[in-house]
Each structure stands twice: as C-alpha cells, then as structure tokens.
C-alpha cells in the first residue's frame, strides 16, 4: 500500500484521484478517458447495483439487455434527443482491419465501409423503442417495466475517474404506459427509489426536484433529479428520472389499441444512475486518510487484524476469535481476517484505513490474555478496548451508529453550506465561496443563462417543495415563478 495522499485542503482534485488509485478502486485505462474498475471498487458497485436491483424488482420491473450498437438513423428520428447527444457519440464506420503494404501495421480496410454508420450507445431509448414497436399493439401489452444494466459510451474530452469517463456502467430503465398519469407516477416512484437507496445505503443526503428546460434530458418532457453536495461544496447530479411523454412513441410510431378501440401513442419514462455514485461516495465521506465507507455499502464491514510478534500463536488466535467469527457469519456481517504475515500491523492499519473499512479490530497476545480486543472506528478515528465476550453485540451496535453518524455528518455539512441570499451581488460573492444557494427564479431562460455566464452556477433543481410567496428572482428582481437551488457542479 502506497503511503500518504494529498490533503483535501491542499488540492481537492488530486486528493480525489489519490484516494481512488491508492485505495485500489480504479485505474486509468489504455484508451484516454476510460477507466479500469478494480475488484474493490467493483464490489462497491456490485453492492450498490444489488440494492437498486432489489428495489426495482420489488416494484415489478424486470431486467433485459439491448444491443451496444445503434443504427445512426435511429438517433435521427428524435430531433431533440440526437441534438443532445450528437457531440458525444462514438461512431463505427468500418467493419474490419487489414495489414498494410509493408506488413508491419494494421490499417482500416477502405472496402469495409458500412452502408450506415453505427453509434456506440450513449443511451438506449432509440434502440429500445424500435423493439417496443414490435412488442406493443394493445393496452393488454402495457405496461412494460423494463430495466437494463449496461455500459454506455459518451465521448468526453475532459474526464475524471468515476465522475466523467468515456465509458461507464449504469442502469437505464425504460417503461411504456397506457396513460400519462401512470407514466408520471412511474417517473416519481423511481426517483423515490433512488433517494431511498442513496440515503439509506450510501448515507448521502439529497435534494429532490425537477430540472429546468435547459438542464433536462434531451427528449424529455420533464426530468426529476436527486442532487447531492460534495465535500468541496459543489453539486453532483446523483440520479435522474425522466417523463418522456409520447416523444419516443411518436418518433418510432409505437401505437396501441385502447380499451375503447381507439388508437393512441404510448407514454414513456426512462431513468438511470451510474458509477458516478462511487465518486459521490468518495467525495461526501472521504477524508485525508482515504475512504470512509458506510457499513451498509462497504464490501468489508469489519477487518480483524492479529498483532503478530514473537508471542503470537496463530492457533491460539483462531480459537480466540472463533465465537465472534461464527456470530458475524450467522448475522451476515462482512468481515476479513487479515493474518498476512508478510506485512506489519501498522501497514495493515494504514491499508484498511485507506480503504475505508468501518471497524478495525486489533488483537494481540496481551489482548488474548486479557480477553479483550481494541476496536477502531473509521468514521471518527477513535479506539476503545472492548470485551471479546461482548464483541459481537458491540460491533453490531457500532455499525448501525457509524451508518447514522456518516449520514448526519453529511446532512449537517449540506445544511451548513446551503444559503439564502436576497440580492445578486451577495449571490455572486457566495457562489464563489461554494455551496448551494436557495433562491427565487423568474422562470426565464434569459435570467438562467446570464447567471450561468457570469458565475458558472447552474440550476441544480427546481425544489419539490416550493415556497414562492413574496419571493423575487435573484437576478431580475421580478416575481419568482420557482424556488430553486443554484450551485457550481460536476
């Protein structure tokens, strides 16, 4: 384990990258803008994925898989959609390579040019709706509640591990409904699931609301979102759920016979979260020692480390922890016994601190003689000596407390850095210091664009709970149409 990371206060961006690489979450891929998710990072994603997947299936959704390749003509069918993704598309133009004339390199075979270019999926609405046209004919075929776990490619020029890479992993739900009411209910239901998992599993508090027209998903009638505050006081869009109306069903001519024998276009939703949530996990909870993982999402909740010295007896150690290990097994507590003899105890302490394991249990020969163990909490960095006989109950209670503590710390940080200002000059001063600004907006693109041009802040969400009584727009001083959150964002 490499020692030391750049302090957050010295260089936040370098700190973030140091944590990812030194905690062995991910590394840079050979193609610029790509990343390799390492086993420890992938296990966090797996646990997150399983948490979402369980909730999806509890609400009637099923998983499927659609092709990575999309005909270019499909994207062209929904004008707003293609405009939103055109600059990010990776395009396949040829089908094979050949050896050059000198025989020392590979070149694209010009004779293999495709009749129609293929887009490597930036999102799957178009290919999925081309299939829904085949599958939907009557109201009896509805609703379709389908989700896909997949990778997507969006050709980013400026990338950052987990937050913005050319290829990333995500889930994308795509549902088809008989009525507008049903589709809107679905859109809001999925946002509730996102909020529930992010807050309860990841201990990350979020604000909910809708996006302004300039910030919403390309092709959507309405985009609902959850927004989180990172440790540097910037915002991160943590998940989105889109009401698509009939835009895609009209683009792909997906009609169904209604119960009264009329014909109507299908109503649609799409919704997604991605591996950028791991970036949020790092930035919300991480400190100068590395990760601090909430127990509900941590791959390892408890690491047990024997202090190996000349008095250490591995057989005696195994017998000593046997009861605790059995209790953790029986109660699904994820643990790891780090009895590697090639590393010192101090090295292991640093390694598991870096990796954010919530509880570290240190047991040396003296502890065995005294029927005790030393328990270190990663969240607050404190140690205490506990009885080995009561160790399981102590650990079980402590894991619950750590989960709650990390959420309350993040919630307090969000609240302490959310500000209300009454004039645009104060707005500009505060936005440069960072944080969320809760204020009024007159609803005009002109005011929104001017604020973005002058401060680089954007409307993160139009808050779900509105209070516009006597509220003025922070920019124009006109009566506010919406109460919003402005912030600089990733």
Residue 2 included in any domain: no
Is residue 34 situated within a structural domain?
no
Residue 292 lies in a domain: no
Contact criterion met (CB below 8 Å) for 167 and 105:
no
Residues near 377 by Cβ (< 8 Å), separated by ≥ 6?
358, 359, 383, 398, 402
Among 402, 431, 459, the domain-final residue is 402
Instruction: Return d(Cα 282, Cα 276) in angstroms, integer.
Output: 10
Q: What is the CATH number of the domain that holds 444?
A: 3.30.110.30
End position of a domain, from candidates 285, 318, 338:
285
Q: Are residues 184 and 330 in the same domain?
A: no
Is 204 found in the same domain as 321? Answer: no
Residue 462, pLDDT score: 98
Q: What is the pLDDT of residue 33?
A: 92
Answer whether residue 25 is part of any domain: no
11 occurs within a structural domain:
no
In the chain, the number of structural domains is 3
The CATH number of whichever domain residue 327 belongs to comes to 3.40.50.800
Sheet holding 69-71, edge to edge: 69-71, 113-120, 90-94
Same domain, 313 and 387: yes
Residue 297 lies in a domain: no
In a shared domain, residues 212 and 340: no
Cα–Cα distance for residue pair 314/306, rounded to 1 Å? 9
The pLDDT value given to residue 157: 77
Split the chain (490 residues) into runs of 10 and give each run's mean pLDDT: 81 98 97 96 98 98 98 87 86 97 95 97 95 98 98 90 97 98 98 98 98 94 98 98 97 97 98 98 98 98 96 96 98 97 95 98 97 98 97 98 98 98 96 97 98 98 94 97 97
The residue among 339, 373, 402 that closes a domain is 402
Looking at the fold, whether 142 and 86 belong to one and the same domain comes out as yes
| One domain for residues 308 and 346 | yes
Cα distance between residue 444 and residue 454, in whole Å: 16
Say if residues 208 and 195 touch (Cβ distance below 8 Å).
yes
Q: List the one residue out of 55, 188, 66 whose CA is nearest residue 135.
A: 66
C-alpha distances in Å from residue 114, one per residue of 71, 97, 155, 228, 312: 11, 13, 21, 43, 68
What's the chain's Rg over C-alpha atoms? 26
Instruction: Say whether both 201 and 269 belong to one domain.
Output: yes
198 and 65 within one domain:
yes
Task: Residue 185: give the domain boundaries.
Answer: 47-96+103-285
How many angstroms separate the CA atoms of 447 and 473, rounded? 9
38 part of a folded domain = no
Q: What is the pTM of this model?
A: 0.95
Are 379 and 426 within one domain?
Answer: no
Same domain flag for 356 and 389: yes
Query: Contact at 8 Å (CB) between 265 and 176?
Result: no
User: DSSP label at 44?
Assistant: H
CATH at 274: 3.30.930.10
Do both 70 and 198 map to the same domain?
yes
* Shared domain check, 249 and 172: yes
Cα 435 vs. chain centroid, distance in angstroms? 20
Task: Decide if 422 is inside a domain.
Answer: yes
């Amino acid at each position: 384990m490499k020692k030391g990371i750049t302090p957050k206060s010295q260089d936040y961006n370098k700190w973030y990258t140091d944590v990812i690489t030194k905690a062995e979450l991910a590394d840079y891929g050979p193609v610029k803008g790509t990343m390799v998710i390492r086993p420890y990072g992938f296990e966090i994603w797996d646990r997150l994925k399983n948490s979402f997947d369980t909730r999806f299936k509890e609400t009637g959704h099923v998983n499927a898989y659609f092709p990575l390749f999309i005909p270019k003509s499909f994207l062209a069918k929904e004008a707003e959609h293609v405009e939103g993704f055109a600059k990010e598309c990776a395009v396949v133009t040829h089908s094979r390579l050949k050896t050059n004339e000198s025989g020392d390199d590979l070149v694209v075979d010009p004779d293999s040019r495709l009749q129609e270019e293929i887009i490597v999926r930036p999102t799957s609405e178009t290919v999925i709706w081309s299939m829904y046209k085949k599958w939907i004919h009557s109201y009896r075929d509805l609703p379709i509640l389908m989700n896909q776990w997949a990778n997507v490619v969006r050709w980013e020029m400026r990338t950052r591990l987990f937050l913005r890479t050319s290829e990333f992993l995500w889930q994308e739900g795509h549902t088809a409904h008989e009525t507008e009411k049903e589709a809107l209910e679905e859109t809001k239901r999925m946002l509730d699931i996102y909020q529930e998992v992010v807050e309860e599993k990841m201990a990350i508090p979020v604000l909910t609301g809708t996006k302004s027209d300039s910030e919403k998903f390309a092709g959507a009638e309405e985009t609902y979102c959850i927004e989180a505050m990172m440790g540097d006081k910037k915002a991160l869009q943590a998940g989105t759920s889109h009401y698509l109306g009939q835009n895609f069903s009209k683009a792909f001519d997906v009609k169904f016979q209604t119960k009264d024998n009329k014909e109507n276009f299908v109503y649609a939703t799409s919704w997604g979260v991605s591996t950028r949530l791991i970036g949020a996990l790092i930035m919300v909870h991480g400190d100068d020692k590395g990760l601090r993982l909430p127990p509900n999402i941590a791959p390892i909740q408890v690491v047990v480390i024997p202090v190996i010295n000349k008095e250490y007896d591995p057989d005696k150690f195994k017998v000593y922890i046997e009861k605790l290990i059995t209790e953790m097994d029986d109660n699904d507590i994820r643990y790891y016994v780090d009895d590697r003899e090639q590393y010192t105890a101090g090295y292991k302490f640093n390694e598991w601190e870096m990796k954010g394991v919530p509880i570290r249990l240190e047991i040396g020969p003296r502890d065995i003689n005294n029927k005790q163990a030393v328990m270190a909490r990663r969240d607050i960095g404190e140690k205490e000596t506990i009885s080995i006989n009561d160790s399981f109950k102590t650990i079980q209670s402590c894991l619950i407390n750590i989960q709650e503590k990390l959420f309350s710390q993040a919630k307090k940080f969000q609240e302490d850095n959310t500000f209300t200002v009454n004039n645009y000059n104060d707005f500009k001063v505060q936005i440069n210091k960072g944080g969320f600004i809760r204020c009024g907006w007159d609803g005009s693109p002109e005011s929104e664009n001017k604020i973005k041009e002058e401060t680089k802040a954007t409307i993160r969400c139009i808050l779900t709970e509105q209070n516009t009584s006597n509220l003025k727009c922070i920019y124009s001083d006109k009566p506010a149409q919406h109460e919003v959150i402005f912030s600089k964002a990733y």
